[in-house]
Amino acid sequence: MVSPATWLRYLVQKFDHSIAIGLKGYKATKVVDKSLGDAMAAHFLRGKLTECFWNKGKEMLPTIGEEGGTLLVRKLPVADPTYVSVGDIVVLKDPTKTDNHLVRRLAAVEGDEMVSKDEKEEPFVLEEDQCWVLADNESLKPKEAYDSRIFGPVSMSDIVGRVIYCLRSTIDHGPVMNSMDSMQKDLPVLEVELNVDELAANHKG
């Protein structure tokens, strides 16, 4: 049973999301025949803040099992510090295969200095809208991990969501460890929108 206070926090976040989506569409001239208010209302009344996503591979062990996991992903209208933080597990567009998506942990954002383990390489600072993502599995070599150590910085705008829950099997599932700020924000979303039976029905394992 979701408490009234949780519902209120959820609705506030849903309203904020609807505003961001409406403004994003308006700026991209996607809102033509409808007013901005109508577009925001449609998102608020019919839209969900989450969607299911399947991921498989050893790059994100132990957070996501090698055999794969069904993820509950919180959709992000804009990938900026308001919505995403260092430490979050994010879904982003594959920088080398535009039709694919990756799941990696956000390790650094614009303004952060990056230092290579190779002493021959000079430190560099991430530029505006750039971020650095890494695989969780530290036992993998960079080429196997396929993260920013291979393809370099990626655009924050390529981030489409934050993973908030992982179902590895019907008996092994739970919230994922993101930044403390994001986990606090996602708590009411989890309480309202999480449906473990639905995740299990979509599970490919």
Domain end position, chosen among 26, 47, 68: 47
Clarify whether residues 149 and 171 are in a common domain: yes
23 and 102 share one domain: no
Q: Which two tokens stand for residue 36?
A: 């901005």
Claim to verify: residue 104 and residue 83 sit in the same structural domain: yes
pTM of this prediction?
0.89
Predicted pLDDT of residue 21: 79
| Number of folded domains that form the chain | 2
- The pair of structure tokens assigned to 205 is 């394992």
Q: Is the pLDDT of residue 104 over 70?
A: yes
State yes or no: is 105 an active-site residue: no
My answer on whether 141 and 69 are in the same domain is yes
| Residues contacting 9, CB < 8 A, separation 6+ | 187, 188
Instruction: Provide the token pair at 30.
Output: 């996607």
Residues 24 and 69 in one domain: no
Same domain, 59 and 11: no
Q: Do 115 and 165 fall into the same domain?
A: yes
The CATH number of whichever domain residue 173 belongs to comes to 2.10.109.10
Band of residue 71 on the pLDDT scale cut at 50, 70, 90: very high
Where is the domain boundary, 11, 26, 47? 47
Q: To the nearest whole percent, how much of the chain has pLDDT over 70?
A: 89
The residue segments making up the domain with residue 11 are 1-47
Q: Catalytic residue among 9, 66, 74, 104, which?
A: 104
Please check whether residue 103 is in contact with residue 69, taking contact to mean a CB–CB distance below 8 angstroms: no
Residue 129 carries which DSSP code?
T
Concerning whether 104 is annotated as a catalytic residue, the answer is: yes
The catalytic position among 9, 46, 51, 59 is 59
Q: Compare 125 and 204 and report the one with higher pLDDT.
A: 125
27-31, 98-102, 111-115, 155-159: least confidently modelled range: 27-31
- 84 phi, psi to nearest 5 deg: -140, 145
With beta carbons less than 8 A apart as the criterion, state whether 55 and 69 touch. Answer: yes
Instruction: Clarify whether residues 4 and 95 are in a common domain.
Output: no
Are 15 and 61 contained in the same domain? no
The span from the first CA to the last CA of the chain, in angstroms, equals: 29
What is the mean predicted confidence (pLDDT) over 128-151? 94
pLDDT tens digits for 27-66?
Answer: 655 545 556 676 667 767 778 999 999 998 999 998 898 8
Within this chain, do residues 105 and 149 fall inside the same structural domain, yes or no?
A: yes
